[in-house]
Amino acid sequence: GAVVSQHPSWVICKSGTSVKIECRSLDFQATTMFWYRQFPKQSLMLMATSNEGSKATYEQGVEKDKFLINHASLTLSTLTVTSAHPEDSSFYICSARGYPSYNEQFFGPGTRLTVL
Amino acid sequence: TQLLEQSPQFLSIQEGENLTVYCNSSSVFSSLQWYRQEPGEGPVLLVTVVTGGEVKKLKRLTFQFGDARKDSSLHITAAQPGDTGLYLCAGGSGSSNTGKLIFGQGTTLQVKP
């Protein structure tokens, strides 16, 4: 099956620093990757959609200058949380879709971000 | 705006009981997926349904897509403690090819031994 990895699985950082999270599709070419944020016991909230080689499309209310997304290749997308603050602490999950199952998204294991 | 209303949001039952989770919308979806998520992990795809009226079975789990492709249900027979987790339904938008999924609010299921 399709496998998506995320790195790191958890990160603790100081307020004001930037954190980069990587999302990789290991056995398929991900033409589109999605970034979600999830609070405890809640559903997933879509932050942005990124297509390989083009700028990400952000959902309403998501600050594109704060959450920088890069999708430079068909197997890698990165999310950088810039100048992180405690309210950015959350569980960040990426997903990917691509050939041959364009109807399905395959999710990474998530990254737990804690900002002190 | 497409919305998926998932119910119930919380469910606590005894081992061996049956349960049904519902996902309803006023919008038509091109496909509907069910995921199961455990704490600290990403969602794992259980099934995708694409045809109105479609029924799929996965061991003790039965998934149904409504005839009009606006609603879906997940039925678990003889629930076991290992079924405990967050169940999410997600609809694929039929209005565009963005690939975006609309997620329901999730159902937290606890199965007590």
User: pLDDT tens-digit profile of A67-82?
Assistant: 999 988 889 999 999 9
CB–CB of A93 and B105 under 8 A? no
User: In which region does residue B66 sit, left (phi positive, over 0), alpha (psi from -120 to 50) or beta (all else)?
Assistant: beta
Q: CA of A6: how far to CAs of A57, A72, A85, B107, in Å? A: 20, 16, 21, 25
Alpha carbon distance A81, A16 (integer Å): 10
Mutation site, B6, B46, B96, B101, interface A, largest A CB count within 10 A: B101
Cβ–Cβ < 8 Å for B104, B29: no
Measure CB to CB from residue B42 to each of A46, A57, A110 and give the nearest one. A110
Tens of pLDDT, residue by residue, chain B (113 residues): 678 999 999 999 999 999 999 999 999 988 899 999 998 999 999 999 999 999 999 999 999 999 999 999 999 999 999 999 999 999 986 555 667 888 999 999 999 99
Residues in chain A predicted with pLDDT less than 50, given as ranges, are: none
pLDDT of residue B2: 73
pLDDT of residue A52: 84
CB–CB of A49 and B44 under 8 A? no
Q: What angle do CA B26, B92, B57 make, to 5 degrees?
A: 95
Alpha carbon distance A104, A2 (integer Å): 10
The size of the A-B interface in CB pairs under 8 A is 60
Q: Give A104's contacts in chain B (Cβ within 8 Å).
A: 33, 45, 48
- Give the DSSP letter of residue A86: G
Burial of B97 (0-12, 13-18, 19+ CB in 10 A): exposed
Alpha carbon distance A92, A103 (integer Å): 22
* Closest residue by Cα to residue B49 from B36, B62, B59: B62
Q: Please give, rounded to a whole number of angstroms, the shortest distance from the CA of A83 to a CA of chain B.
A: 24
Among chain A residues, the shortest Cα distance to B48 is held by A104
- Give the DSSP letter of residue A87: G
**Long-range contacts: B48-55, Cβ < 8 Å, 24+?**
B48/A103, B48/A104, B50/A103
pLDDT of residue A42: 87
